[in-house]
Amino acid sequence: MIQRLSRRDLMRGSLLGAAAFGVPAILAGCGNPAERGAAAPATGAAARGVVTLGSNASDEVPKKALDTVIKAFTSNDLKINTVDHNTFQENINRYLRGTPDDVFTWFAGYRMQFFAEQGLAVDISDVWQEIGADYTPAFKAASTGSDGKQYFLPFTYYPWAVFYRKSLWQEKGYEVPATLDEFTALARKMKADGLSPVAFADKDGWPAMGTFDILNMRANGYDFHVSLMAGKETWTDPRVKQVFDLWRGLLEHHQEAPLGRTWQEAAQSLQQKKTGMYLLGMFVAQQFPESDRDDLDFFTFPEINPQFGTDSIDAPIDGYMVSAKAKNVAGAKALVKHFAQAASQNVATSLDPGTLAASSKADTGGYSALQKRGAELVSGAAHIAQFLDRDTRPDFASTVMIPAFQRFIGKPDDIDALLRDVEAQKANIFR
Amino acid sequence: MSQKARRYSARDRALLIAGLGVVITLNAALIWGPTLASVVLSATDWNGISEIRWLGGENYHDLAAEYPPFWTAVRNNVLWLGFLGLLATPFGLFCAVLLDRRLALSRVYQSALYLPVVLSLAVVGFIAQLVYSADYGVLNAVTGMRTDWLGDSSINIWVVMVAAGWRHVGYVMIIYLAGLKAVDPALKEAAAIDGATETQAFFRVVFPTLRPVNVIVLVITVIEALRAFDIVYAINKGRNGLELLSVLVTENIVGEASRIGFGSAIAVVLLVIALGFIVTYLTQIFREDR
């Protein structure tokens, strides 16, 4: 997701410099602030410790959402350091080893496990014992490190699906495809109607990851996908080759010249009814004017292998972690618990319509039609993947997979050589 | 340089040591230190967090044998140098010669050609997208073509070099124009009296007197070619046919990837290429001094 957000940041020109660095927390040996409410005066010295929060919510909408959410956090004084989204991500290594804030925004899955393994995050299993019932097992799994402890608190997420305009589909009499054959048949029909069937853009390099993820999970299942992402399978495996073969077959139905197009342009072509459907994250709605948003609907990518059906989707989760160098761990955990509350997440999702609340206790009554459908889709999925660049090593995703996918899209017939190259580079990175 | 050692007073010596010392320290700390660090790191697989593990020359092997973007980047850097050196620079000279002849409206042409120079290459990159974009670009709209200029990896480097050349021509032109104004008109007159044609007068008389300007232009061209980065980064982050060595260094080291060892190896390759030019240039200069 790095690329998407950086792009968005650029577009909005909202480059916020790193704000003032964290004021050292005034540490008194205070206990858990949540308990303090009951036994407050007894501990005497327990001053209101300052909690610092490192936030990458530099975009206008997420920033406003976060500001509103933390207004309700009163047990500690809070200091937010907002850093430009892209900068935050690029500097995460140095940040966590330097003087990180107590709590910081991060992503679930492999990217979280990577830092947990390096000992850069605090185990928050105790928080999970209190709030665990509010989350589905899939969310808990996405928050769990390789040692079985929880290091992450899911806050919001958004699913990937195939988006389309209801009005166009009604007018032309298209129906949601349930299998790959129906999908290609639909694409042919769209082409006959003068549409470019599947909108596609990969100039930024990352959107094609979404296509690969879904094809791999549909064809080979979630377990294989995760294992492949973790570097445990070979890329020259016939199963991987099959995914690329499938993809090559579908490419003819995709919009031409994707490598020169941004996802924003592709989304606009969907909005302008020049293309029939578009596999993307729910943020596709950003490119739709307010008046057209109710016309936007989606379906999950159709079944390829009946053994797996449509049991997995990409739905990247954003959330919070406590840094190992936190000066006020108790306060940090209190803040994390605040983020776990359904009420906090509801505030965020009402302000940022491209996201869904992670907590199962969250009130979905205030959701837009699209958000409601998104929540249904995710609750029906047995497995939730985090998107390729969050499910594997960041160096592998950015320096190997992005060039590989672009090469494939440019020359789809050269699959064997491509996969040999990917495998050779994988061996160098996962050593 | 080769003078006999003089006697320096204690005060002179102290001054020399202090003066030179500061420069040498800064030089070592800011230039040679990081350079050596890159060379050392290029033999490791450091990622910024982990223990440093020695790999010897393995990074270089991986680069050359198993990292497809590397050779594309080398090719593109060479193309870039060739394009600027053999096409854009001579064209800039050509424009300067024409403008030097005081054509009607020469001020207008001069401004038009010089205008892009005030833009940063990143901005040129954004302008290039407005021109070349397959869906909304001016070029396809005007010509009715449907070419994916920036997405097709076999042509995008060429159109991007044209955009970079657009800026380079103006830069070179203004330098040559200044040089041409300084050429003594009497030389041209003398050549004309001796019966030289206009072309002969330019290549035999005027061009040789421009030698100092030529050296400056050459150095600028090489520097521009090696440091090219922002234009391709603005267009597509320097991927899919627009790879350059400078981009690969950034891509691997900066950012979450943090392949510091591997990225350093690419940086060392770039350093060696740059050193090749620097050494050639310096030997030329020193030879003349003697």
* ipTM of predicted complex: 0.83
The fold of the A2-158+317-379 domain, in CATH, is D-Maltodextrin-Binding Protein; domain 2 (3.40.190)
Q: Please tell me the predicted confidence (pLDDT) of residue A382.
A: 87
> For residue A281, what are the β-bridge partners?
A160
Q: Please tell me the predicted confidence (pLDDT) of residue B270.
A: 92
Please list, in sequence order, all residues whose beta carbon lies within 8 angstroms of the beta carbon of residue B231, skipping any fewer than 6 positions away. B121, B122, B124, B125, B128, B160, B163, B164
- Looking at residue B280, what DSSP letter applies? H
Tens-digit pLDDT profile for residues A68-125: 999 889 888 899 999 988 788 878 888 888 899 999 999 998 888 888 988 899 999 9
Q: Please tell me the predicted confidence (pLDDT) of residue A11.
A: 36
- CB-based contact (8 Å) between B45 and chain A? yes
Mean pLDDT of A149-156: 95
Nearest to B151 among A120, A260, A407 (CB): A260
Mean pLDDT over each residue of chain A, to the nearest integer: 86
Look at A25 and A68; give whichever has higher pLDDT: A68
Q: Which site among B256, B260, B262 would you substitute to test the A interface, given the most A Cβ atoms closer than 10 Å to its Cβ?
A: B256
What is the spatial distance between Cα A372 and Cα A375, in angstroms, rounded to a whole number?
Answer: 5
Question: Whose CA is closest to A211, among A183, A247, A177?
Answer: A247
Q: Please tell me the predicted confidence (pLDDT) of residue B51.
A: 81
Q: Please tell me the predicted confidence (pLDDT) of residue A252.
A: 94
Mean pLDDT of A148-154: 95
Mean pLDDT over each residue of chain B, to the nearest integer: 89
What is the spatial distance between Cα B161 and Cα B145, in angstroms, rounded to a whole number?
Answer: 20
Percentage, residues of chain A above pLDDT 70: 89
Residue B19 reports pLDDT greater than 50: yes
Residue A45 reports pLDDT greater than 60: no
Residue B237 reports pLDDT greater than 80: yes
Q: Would strands A103-107 and A50-55 be described as parallel, antiparallel, or unpaired?
A: parallel
Closest residue in B to A114 (Cα) is B49
- CB-based contact (8 Å) between B237 and chain A? yes
Q: Please tell me the predicted confidence (pLDDT) of residue A332.
A: 94
CB burial of residue A139 (10 Å; 0-12, 13-18, 19+):
buried
Q: What's the count of helices (H) and strands (E) in chain A, helices before strands? A: 20, 12
Q: Which site among A399, A401, A414, A423 would you substitute to test the B interface, given the most B Cβ atoms closer than 10 Å to its Cβ?
A: A399
Q: Please tell me the predicted confidence (pLDDT) of residue A43.
A: 36
- CB-based contact (8 Å) between A428 and chain B? yes
A430: confidence class by pLDDT, cuts 50, 70, 90: confident
CB burial of residue B179 (10 Å; 0-12, 13-18, 19+):
buried
Q: Please tell me the predicted confidence (pLDDT) of residue B3.
A: 56
Mean pLDDT of A371-396: 89
Tens-digit pLDDT profile for residues A176-209: 999 999 999 999 999 999 999 999 999 888 999 9
Per-residue tokens: A248: 């090559």
Long-range Cβ contact pairs of B210-218 (< 8 A, separation 24 or more): B210/B176, B210/B179, B210/B180, B210/B183, B212/B179, B213/B175, B213/B176, B213/B178, B213/B179, B216/B175, B217/B89, B217/B92, B217/B172, B217/B175, B217/B176, B218/B85, B218/B281
Residue B159 reports pLDDT greater than 90: yes
Q: Which site among A259, A268, A396 would you substitute to test the B interface, given the most B Cβ atoms closer than 10 Å to its Cβ?
A: A259
Are B151 and A403 within 8 A, CB to CB?
no
Which residue type occupies A318? D
B150: distance to nearest CA of chain A, Å? 5
**Reduced to 3 states, what is the DSSP secondary structure of residue B93?**
helix
**Residue-range domain boundaries for chain B:** 1-40, 68-289
**Residue-range domain boundaries for chain A:** 2-158+317-379, 160-314+393-429
A27: confidence class by pLDDT, cuts 50, 70, 90: very low
Interface of B with A in 103-142 (CB under 8 A): 132-136
Q: Please tell me the predicted confidence (pLDDT) of residue A3.
A: 42
Residue B248 reports pLDDT greater than 50: yes
Mean pLDDT of A228-236: 94
- CB-based contact (8 Å) between A371 and chain B? no
Are A398 and B255 within 8 A, CB to CB?
yes
A33: confidence class by pLDDT, cuts 50, 70, 90: very low
Nearest to A395 among B67, B150, B258 (CB): B258
What are φ and ψ of residue A141, in 5° steps? -60, -40
What are φ and ψ of residue B109, in 5° steps? -60, -45
CATH class as words, domain B68-289: mainly alpha
Q: Which site among A265, A269, A395 would you substitute to test the B interface, given the most B Cβ atoms closer than 10 Å to its Cβ?
A: A395
Q: Please tell me the predicted confidence (pLDDT) of residue A336.
A: 94
Size of interface A-B (CB pairs under 8 A): 110
Q: Please tell me the predicted confidence (pLDDT) of residue A62.
A: 82
Is residue A287 within 8 A of residue A299, CB to CB? The reply is no
Most confident stretch, A188-197, A286-295, B9-18: A188-197
What is the spatial distance between Cα A181 and Cα A60, in angstroms, rounded to a whole number?
Answer: 42
Q: Please tell me the predicted confidence (pLDDT) of residue B290.
A: 60
What is the spatial distance between Cα B232 and Cα B235, in angstroms, rounded to a whole number?
Answer: 5
Q: Please tell me the predicted confidence (pLDDT) of residue B80.
A: 95
Are B240 and A89 within 8 A, CB to CB?
no
What is the spatial distance between Cα B254 and Cα A90, in angstroms, rounded to a whole number?
Answer: 7
> For residue A199, what are the β-bridge partners?
A278
Percentage, residues of chain B above pLDDT 90: 53
Q: Report, in angstroms and rounded to the nearest whole number, the Rg of chain B calculated over CA atoms.
A: 24
**Reduced to 3 states, what is the DSSP secondary structure of residue A74?**
coil
Are B151 and A90 within 8 A, CB to CB?
no
Residue A42 reports pLDDT greater than 80: no
Are A205 and B239 within 8 A, CB to CB?
yes
Percentage, residues of chain A above pLDDT 90: 61
Q: Please tell me the predicted confidence (pLDDT) of residue A25.
A: 33
Closest residue in B to A393 (Cα) is B257
Percentage, residues of chain B above pLDDT 70: 97
Q: Is A309 left (phi over 0), alpha (psi -120 to 50) or beta?
A: left
A260: distance to nearest CA of chain B, Å? 4
A293: confidence class by pLDDT, cuts 50, 70, 90: confident
CB burial of residue A147 (10 Å; 0-12, 13-18, 19+):
exposed
- Direct distance between the N- and C-terminal alpha carbons of chain B, in angstroms, rounded to an integer: 10
Which H or E run contains A40?
helix A33-43
Q: Please tell me the predicted confidence (pLDDT) of residue A48.
A: 62
Nearest to A94 among B48, B150, B237 (CB): B48
Q: Is B255 left (phi over 0), alpha (psi -120 to 50) or beta?
A: left
B269: distance to nearest CA of chain A, Å? 18
Nearest to B239 among A89, A93, A402 (CB): A402
Mean pLDDT of A347-365: 88
Q: How many other CB atoms are there within 10 angstroms of residue A79's CB atom?
A: 18
Question: Whose CA is closest to B156, among A255, A415, A400, A259?
Answer: A259
B83: confidence class by pLDDT, cuts 50, 70, 90: very high
Q: Please tell me the predicted confidence (pLDDT) of residue B5.
A: 62
Closest residue in A to B53 (Cα) is A431
Mean pLDDT of A127-154: 91
- Looking at residue B116, what DSSP letter applies? G
What architecture (CATH level 2) is domain A160-314+393-429? 3-Layer(aba) Sandwich (3.40)
Residue A145 reports pLDDT greater than 50: yes
- CB-based contact (8 Å) between B208 and chain A? no
Tens-digit pLDDT profile for residues B85-107: 999 999 999 999 999 887 888 88
